[in-house]
Amino acid sequence: MVVLISVAAIVNLETTVFKSNKLLEEISKVRTDLFTLRSRVASLDSVVNDIRNQIEKSDDITKSVHFTRPTTSLEKVVLKVSVTFSEFTEGSQLFLNVIDENADVRSYELESENGVFTAMIELFPEETYHGQVRLRDGDKETLSKEFAISHDLYNIQHYQLLGHAWLLETDKIHYSIDLYTQYCRDEELRISEAVIKVVEGEDSRETLFLPLDNNSQELAKAVYY
């Protein structure tokens, strides 16, 4: 009688583990599909912003606004802004206003450089910015139309680090850490390497270097038992 109860208990446990594993597999698939969808939406947003900026620049005091990226770090991105004007009075003072999502304004003076006017600005990832050129001629000031500063210029590749159990056994749990990234068309802003430290108590158990594959949504995986 005791043996029969033990066998029944084991069979019941195996059935529960099997069902749990199927559920974990389905959850992992849904999570991956969701992040893939977010990445595709981000790529469409990027294209829409580019088109909107081209439309908004028409019929304005500025002829063109061009950005280059001298330096990049995880904390901030430095951009060089080059502006050409459709018309302006010689001797006028020219400024670039950078407006953040809280409507705070930082003003940078534009200096003449080989026929264009330039300034170096600092932008922080995860924030949203607009730009506006200000022309001062004596007591008169003229403002250009506001234009969006594309996230693609300064936003480090978005990522999400997720951990989950993917297989349950009677004596151990299989656990994985997955690193996902969103669409990023600029190679300079893509994450090229990630480091994960696994801590057990006060000690660092292991340091893992995860090489990334930009052709995949699920870029890196570490598995523990």
In a domain, 152, yes or no: no
pLDDT in tens, 167-181: 777 777 777 777 777
Instruction: Note the pLDDT of residue 170.
Output: 72
In a domain, 151, yes or no: no
pLDDT in tens, 1-35: 333 333 344 444 455 545 555 666 666 666 666 66
Last residue of a domain, one of 144, 174, 191: 144
Residues 71 and 136 in one domain: yes
State the pairing for strand pair 147-149/159-168.
unpaired
Cα separation, 180 vs 218, in Å, equals 5
In a domain, 68, yes or no: yes
In a domain, 188, yes or no: yes
In a domain, 31, yes or no: yes
Structural domain count of the chain: 2
Last residue of a domain, one of 144, 167, 190: 144
pTM over 0.75: no
Query: Is the separation of the CB atoms in 94 and 110 below 8 Å?
Result: yes
Residues 74 and 134 in one domain: yes
In a domain, 165, yes or no: yes
In a domain, 52, yes or no: no
Q: Comparing 188 with 57, which gets the higher pLDDT?
A: 188
**Alpha helices for 74-216 (secondary structure H):** none
Q: What residues make up the domain containing 86?
A: 61-144
